[in-house]
Amino acid sequence: MQFIKGLTRKKQSSSSASAETRKKEHDYYLENGSAVLEELLALCDGNCRIPIRYFTATDIERAIKHSENKLYIADGHMVTGSLDKRLVFIRTFPGYFRNHFNNIFRDIAITAQMSHLKNVLRLVGCCIEFEEPVMVYEYVEATSLYALLFEKDNHDDETRKSLLSWGSRLRIAHKVASAVVFLHTEFTTPIIHRDLKPSNVIVDQNSGVAKLLNFSLSVSLPQGKLEVVKDVVCGTYGYVAPEYSEWCMITQKIDVYSFGVILLQLLTRRNMTTLHLKDRDMYYIVDPSDSDFKMLNIEEIHVMDIADPAILEEHGIKIRQQLEDCWDLVKKCTAYKGEERPYMIEVAKELSRIHHCFRALTLCRN
């Protein structure tokens, strides 16, 4: 259990030490509990769709006592534990994680409000008796989308081929898009994720369903406002929209941009990002894995030249129109100006249409 730093309590040598530990846990409980409640009140007037179960520090320590299985995600990892005779994921946070930008309490509150959705990793509960809260999720046999796309040795060929078939990629894209649509439309004011990327998405290896997680950087737009300006840019390089990186301007469209980069990576299975050079009025696709740091002018690219060869081997030119439609969606989502990008609900509808076309094609072939 050495990899769960800060969670293990040393054995107390006296009753006074035990009393001190209990007092600390009680103080953390009050401090962290009030912070979670404050977030829930702000999001939904305290009416949580899925009740949050609170676990004790002892529950968590027992649950992870013999665990060695990890699932790596953005900003750390989750470990497998056992609570009430069922497997769960237990997510801890490194000491540096709680700061002015990462809001663990908001993560708990938002995840609880979205846990009825199949495309969000369901929150079972949390423990607030440690200095850094611990989140407990449902267990699924899963891998991160990042590992699936870019880490070659994590899966056997058959598993990867199944999870990254063309139909599976379309389903993954649609599930992630639908989760973001919920964020943007189903709360009192739109919530902007701000850190959409493959390492914040896991894929259920049994069902193929993509699940979004990690809402710690998310922010709500002010009531009646379409944008908000922050002092500092948060997120991950390569996924941050131009207007956000340049002017710290947050709108729904910055999530659209980040999603567009994810869609590009699903299409190519290369760790590509986009680059806008305003002084040249040029828009490039950049492949950091290329030793020459190749920059490709997006207007000169043909989708059949950059699509993952595995997709073409699977279906050939029969899905050419679907590939072109996805490529067109990538360009729309990553447009330089936010107002030129579609809203996520439009993106989700287009992905649903493309997936429907693929299913119709598959049925015809069978």
List residues with catalytic annotation. Answer: 195
CA proximity to 73, closest of 19, 135, 25: 135
List C-alpha distances in Å: 214 to 3, 140, 182, 249: 20, 16, 15, 21
> Which residue reads 């309590």 in tokens?
9
> Which residue reads 């665990």 in tokens?
67
Asked if 176 and 259 touch (Cβ cutoff 8 Å), the reply is yes
The encoded tokens of residue 314 equal 């699977």
CA proximity to 205, closest of 139, 174, 159, 264: 159
CB atoms within 10 A of CB 17: 12
Query: Which residues, 6 or more positions from 309, have their beta carbon under 8 angstroms from its beta carbon?
Result: none
DSSP letter (8 states) at residue 120: B
Q: Residue 132 half-sphere exposure, CB side, CA atoms within 13 Å?
A: 18
CA proximity to 165, closest of 365, 359, 24, 364: 359
Distance CA 198, CA 200 (A): 5
